[in-house]
Amino acid sequence: MKIQLLVLTFVIGALTSNASVADEQHHQHGLNIPAEIKPILTKEMLAIEKGMQELVSSIAKGEWDKTASIGKQIQASYILKQSLTAEQKQQLHHNLPEQFIRQDRAFHKYAGMLAHAAKAKNKDVINFYFYKMNESCNQCHSRYAQERFPGFVDPKEKHTEHKH
């Protein structure tokens, strides 16, 4: 557990400090994630999706302790937090655009804020951050996961569809 946390800190640190290395790719419709890392991302996404569904229920029912604990769980689960080999880390920081890392961090920050609001039993603030979390899914997917989720393809951007 401790080792995993250390690895997490290292990965996030490495990604952040080298974020400028990766160019902003404005019309990127997919991420260049190494094949062996993809399943980790998928697993993380499915966990987040499940967490969001549980939040709908717990918020609707006023179960604030549960809401806070789900929020905290999501906050702690940085995408790609799992232990990666040094080589994979190297690959990652060359592959993830700065904007992606920023959106990932913002998303997890909102989850933390939601947990905080749930502790204070502040419904309005909880709902606000739930909205922000949902918006984060949309923002990141519409930018980086259009292939997986074609619903985000903007008809006006069709000409860039096949650029990768």
Question: Which residues contact ligand HEC by CB under 6 A?
Answer: 30-31, 41-42, 45-46, 48-49, 52, 100, 103-104, 107, 133, 136-137, 140-141, 144-145, 147-148
CB of 56 or CB of 120, closer to ligand HEC: 56
Shortest distance (Å) from residue 63 CB to ligand HEC: 19
For ligand HEC, give the closer residue by CB, 2 or 39.
Answer: 39
- Residue 5 or 56: the one with the smaller Cβ distance to ligand HEC is 56
Would you say 129 or 144 has its CB closer to ligand HEC? 144
Q: How far is the CB of 68 from ligand HEC (least distance, A)?
A: 17
> Nearest distance from residue 75's CB to ligand HEC, in Å?
12
Q: Which residues contact 7 (CB under 8 A, 6 or more apart)?
A: 81, 83, 84
Give CA–CA dist 22/98, Å, rounded: 6
CA separation for the pair 48, 150 (Å, rounded): 20
* Least gap, CB of 163 to ligand HEC (angstroms): 15
Give CA–CA dist 6/12, Å, rounded.
Answer: 10
CB of 156 to ligand HEC, least distance (A): 22
Backbone angle region of 13, left / alpha / beta, with phi > 0 → left and psi within -120 to 50 → alpha: alpha
Give the integer Cα–Cα distance in Å for 57 and 126.
13
Q: Are 97 and 22 in contact (CB under 8 A)?
A: yes
Phi, psi of 38 (to 5 degrees): -50, -45
